Amino acid sequence: MQKFTADSPESRSADLVAGNIEQLKALFPEAFTEGKVDFEVLKCVLGGAVDDREEKYGLNWHGKRRARQIALTPSTGTLRPCPEESVDWDTTQNLMIEGDNLEVLKLLQKSYAGKVKLIYIDPPYNTGKDFVYPDDFRDNIKNYLELTGQVEGGKKISSNTEASGRFHTDWLNMMYPRLKLARSLLRADGVIFITIDDHEVTGLRSLCDEIFGEENCLGACRTSAS
């Protein structure tokens, strides 16, 4: 039996960043210098398709950049088979995986990227209550105001302190990398169904528009009674 180490390719999930770079290099080899992307050349190649304005319309929140990085960070987890807990292990064509869904989504990339026909998810609704899973993603108000630059040294620096965003920020940071990874698993004609209620349906729709493309999101979100 071969022993895997932390450096073994088999011990890590797919490197999505490396895959993206290889695809970009295949399309625009002239945009690479010494193995690095030359963004000025890339912008020239893409012409008017590049929007380099500092302020753009879109859904933004504190931690979005970090959430994007989390989706691209390879997992070092491993899926371990459990024949003793399975039914018809040798013949079944079904697979149930227990574990953190973010890590599992990363681990599935190697075998199932671009192959999944349908995904259905029922994420937390962010109601502020706890059920079987945590359902309160509201950030601590003091922490939220500090992170968003509305207080300094414990004192408000804005006369119009905004706090409603804290109820959505952590939820968006939780959902973004998971939806990003789910998107890369889907086939070109694959579909994703998501159950949600009124608390986050607006944010979810905006996330889906960004990740899946607005033209592909008709009917992607359904409101469920809370």
Place of tokens 């050349």: 41
Contact in structure between 205 and 217 (CB atoms under 8 Å): yes
User: Is the confidence at residue 13, as pLDDT, over 90?
Assistant: no
Report the alpha-carbon distance of residue 222 to residue 205 in Å, rounded. Answer: 10
Percent of residues, the chain, with pLDDT higher than 70? 71
Q: Residue 170: its pLDDT value, please?
A: 86
pTM of the predicted protein model? 0.70
Report the alpha-carbon distance of residue 43 to residue 50 in Å, rounded. Answer: 6
Question: Which of 31-35, 110-114, 143-147 bottoms out in mean pLDDT, i.e. has the lowest?
Answer: 143-147
Q: What confidence tier does 160 reach under pLDDT thresholds 50, 70, 90?
A: very low
pLDDT tens per residue, range 135-144:
666 655 555 4
Report the alpha-carbon distance of residue 1 to residue 91 in Å, rounded. Answer: 23
Cα dihedral 212/218/221/223 (nearest 10): 160
Report the alpha-carbon distance of residue 62 to residue 143 in Å, rounded. Answer: 12
Average pLDDT over residues 54-73: 85
Token digits of residue 142? 């003091």
Q: Residue 59: its pLDDT value, please?
A: 86
Q: Which helix (H) or strand (E) holds 181?
A: helix 166-185
Place of tokens 């993603």: 137
pLDDT tens per residue, range 184-197:
999 999 999 999 98
Q: Where are the domains of the chain?
A: 58-223
pLDDT tens per residue, range 202-220:
999 999 999 998 777 765 4
Report the alpha-carbon distance of residue 209 to residue 116 in Å, rounded. Answer: 20
Q: What confidence tier does 99 reach under pLDDT thresholds 50, 70, 90?
A: confident
Tell me the CA end-to-end span of the chain in Å, nearest whole number: 51
Query: How far is C-alpha 33 from the geometric centre of its chain's CA atoms?
Result: 30
